[in-house]
Amino acid sequence: MEARAQSVQSARRSKEDKKLLKRQIKASHTLLKHEGITTASEPTQCVVVCNGGLGNGVSREQLMAVLTEGGAVVESLLMPPNKPYSFASFASPQDGRSAQTRCHGRTLQANDGHRVTLYCSYVLPAVDRGVCECVSLPPGLCVLEDFVSPEEESQLLDAVNWTSHDDDVTTRRELKHRRVKHYGYEFRYDNNNVDKDKPLPEGLPSECDAVLQRCVCDGLISVLPDQLTVNQYESGQGIPPHVDTHSAFEDTILSLGLGAKTVMDFRHPDGRSVSIVHPARSLLVMKGESRYLWTHGITPRKFDVVPASAAERSGVVNFDPSDLTLNQRGTRTSFTFRKIRHTPCDCAYPSVCDSQRPSSPPCLPVARSDACRLEEQYVHRVYEEISAHFSSTRHAPWPRVRDFLLTLPSDAIMADIGCGNGKYLGINPQAFSLGCDRSVNLVSICAERGFHSVVCDALSVPLRSSAFDAVISIAVIHHFSTQ
Ligand SMILES: [Zn+2]
Q: Which domains does the chain have, with CATH numbers?
A: 2-123 (3.30.70.330), 141-352 (2.60.120.1520), 368-479 (3.40.50.150)
Q: Write out the chain's pLDDT in tens, 483 residues.
A: 555 656 666 666 688 788 888 887 887 777 777 777 777 878 888 888 999 998 888 999 999 999 998 888 888 888 888 788 888 888 888 888 888 888 888 998 888 788 999 988 888 776 454 444 556 889 999 999 899 999 999 999 999 978 755 444 344 455 556 788 899 998 887 778 888 888 888 789 999 999 999 999 989 999 999 999 999 999 888 988 999 999 999 999 999 999 999 999 999 998 888 999 999 999 999 999 999 999 999 998 888 888 887 666 777 777 778 888 888 899 999 999 999 999 999 999 988 999 987 555 556 666 777 777 777 777 777 787 777 777 777 778 899 999 999 999 989 999 999 999 999 999 999 999 999 999 998 999 999 889 999 999 888 888 988 899 999 999 888 877 766
**The pLDDT value given to residue 131:** 46
**The pLDDT value given to residue 186:** 86
In whole angstroms, give the CA distance from residue 30 to residue 240.
33
Q: Which residues contact 118 (CB under 8 A, 6 or more apart)?
A: 49, 50, 51, 52, 66, 103, 104, 105, 106, 107, 108
**Is residue 228 within 8 Å of residue 182, measured between CB atoms?**
yes
Of 181, 223, 231, which Cα lies nearest the Cα of 204?
A: 181
Ligand 1 midpoint to CA 225 (Å) = 18
Ligand 1 midpoint to CA 353 (Å) = 4
Q: Which residues pair with 437 in a beta bridge?
A: 455
Helix residue spans in 31-126 (DSSP H): 60-67, 93-103
In whole angstroms, give the CA distance from residue 260 to residue 94.
42
Ligand 1 midpoint to CA 355 (Å) = 6
Of 337, 319, 304, which Cα lies nearest the Cα of 224?
A: 337
3-class DSSP state of 245: coil
**The pLDDT value given to residue 368:** 73
Ligand 1 midpoint to CA 60 (Å) = 43
3-class DSSP state of 350: helix
**The pLDDT value given to residue 123:** 84
Quickly list DSSP for 182-194: EESSPEETTTTEE
**Is residue 407 within 8 Å of residue 437, measured between CB atoms?**
no
Ligand 1 midpoint to CA 297 (Å) = 19
Strand pairing class (119-123; 46-50): antiparallel
Of 233, 228, 230, which Cα lies nearest the Cα of 177?
A: 233
Q: Which residues pair with 90 in a beta bridge?
A: 74
In whole angstroms, give the CA distance from residue 261 to residue 311.
10
Ligand 1 midpoint to CA 71 (Å) = 59
Ligand 1 midpoint to CA 363 (Å) = 13
Q: What b/e readout covers 176-191, taking b as 16+ CB neighbours within 10 angstroms?
A: ebbbbbbbbbbbeeee
**The pLDDT value given to residue 170:** 42
Of 235, 370, 364, which Cα lies nearest the Cα of 304?
A: 235
**The pLDDT value given to residue 14:** 80
In whole angstroms, give the CA distance from residue 456 to residue 442.
12
Ligand 1 midpoint to CA 251 (Å) = 9
Ligand 1 midpoint to CA 246 (Å) = 5
In whole angstroms, give the CA distance from residue 380 to residue 60.
51
Helix and strand tally (H, E) in the chain? 10, 27
Ligand 1 midpoint to CA 368 (Å) = 22
What is the CB neighbour count within 10 angstroms for residue 388?
A: 12
**The pLDDT value given to residue 171:** 47
Ligand 1 midpoint to CA 313 (Å) = 32
**The pLDDT value given to residue 128:** 54
Of 46, 42, 50, 27, which Cα lies nearest the Cα of 123?
A: 46
Ligand 1 midpoint to CA 253 (Å) = 14
Ligand 1 midpoint to CA 180 (Å) = 25
**The pLDDT value given to residue 378:** 75
Q: Name residues with Cβ closer than 5 Å to ligand 1, which is an ion.
A: 246, 345, 347, 353
Ligand 1 midpoint to CA 177 (Å) = 27
Ligand 1 midpoint to CA 140 (Å) = 15
Length of the chain: 483
Ligand 1 midpoint to CA 293 (Å) = 9
Ligand 1 midpoint to CA 397 (Å) = 45
Q: Judge residue 137's burial from the number of C-beta atoms within 10 Å of its C-beta, 0-12 exposed, 13-18 middle, 19 or more buried.
A: middle
CA 327 to centroid of chain Cα atoms = 17
Of 334, 313, 327, which Cα lies nearest the Cα of 257?
A: 334
In whole angstroms, give the CA distance from residue 216 to residue 225.
10
Amino acid at 152: E
Measured CA angle at 152 (ends 150, 155), to 5 deg: 115
**Is residue 411 within 8 Å of residue 393, measured between CB atoms?**
no
**Is residue 141 within 8 Å of residue 190, measured between CB atoms?**
no
Strand pairing class (413-417; 470-472): parallel
